[in-house]
């Protein structure tokens, strides 16, 4: 495997680690969602955080797929 492939593989590993961390954060936020209606602003902030995490996770999945495709194409 040449250095370009090794570099791509390294990026994929980092993306996987980032994705796992985002999934853990998302689960933590879901577990801590406030059910009290007095905390509507906090609930809204938490929902926005969940959305942001999902968007980032999707972007990471796309990047991971592209990197894996590059690795296969150059192998």
Domain count, the chain: 1
Query: Where do the H-state alpha helices sit in 2-39?
Result: 3-31
* Residue whose C-alpha is closest to residue 33's, from 54, 22, 47: 47
pLDDT top residue among 1 and 71 = 71
Q: Is the pLDDT of residue 52 over 80?
A: yes
DSSP for residue 1: -
In this predicted structure, what is the pLDDT of residue 33?
67
Helix (H/G/I), strand (E/B), else coil: 27: helix
Residue 49: pLDDT band (50, 70, 90) is confident
User: Quick one: pLDDT at residue 44?
Assistant: 79
In this prediction the pTM is: 0.52
pLDDT recorded at residue 34: 59
Range of the domain at 44: 3-74
């Amino acid at each position: 495997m040449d250095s370009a492939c090794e570099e791509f593989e390294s990026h994929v590993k980092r993306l996987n680690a980032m994705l796992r961390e985002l999934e853990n954060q998302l689960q933590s936020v879901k577990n801590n969602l406030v059910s009290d209606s007095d905390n509507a602003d906090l609930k809204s902030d938490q929902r926005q955080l969940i959305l942001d995490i999902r968007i980032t996770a999707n972007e990471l999945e796309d990047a991971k797929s592209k990197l894996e495709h590059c690795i296969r194409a150059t192998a």
